[in-house]
Amino acid sequence: MKAIISRYYGSTSTKGTLQIFEGDDLLYSCKTIELRFLNNIKNKSCIPEGDYDVIKYDSPSKGQCFRLLNVPNRSDILIHKGNFVAGDKIDSLGCILPGLRFADINQDGLIDVADSTKAMEQLLFLLPNSFKLYIL
């Protein structure tokens, strides 16, 4: 099983589509949102494109989620539930937030990811304890 995030870089956020494949068969697809790209600056930028080993992880602060291993010059990068990466409320300091759709949830003019809890539940059910993630 493998996962691929295809990204679209914006001035306030990095939007993506996460697709889960078993061989050539697409099993699942959802949206992702991350911080905008600022040269991999810790707590301010999304992580670089690349191939990452990922494990299921029980975070003390985020609950059951996924942890990306060996991210260059970064640590504690997770895929966890959350909605906001820009504006007054931010749920990520470099992590990947899954959701079912993009929306301006809090009406601040910035795009957020919606239905994150449901997307996270689906990912936790579908994905194995370890897998490869390709970020394009």
Q: How confident is the model at residue 33 (pLDDT cuts 50, 70, 90)?
A: very high
Q: Which residue has the tokens 């068969």?
A: 25
Return d(Cα 23, Cα 91) in angstroms, integer.
Answer: 33
Residue type for 71, please?
V
pLDDT at 78: 98
Q: What percentage of the chain has pLDDT greater than the value 90?
A: 99
- Tokens describing residue 71: 């991210």
First vs last Cα of the chain: how many Å apart?
17
pTM of the model as a whole: 0.97
Express each pLDDT in 101-134 by its tens digit: 999 999 999 999 999 999 999 999 999 999 999 9
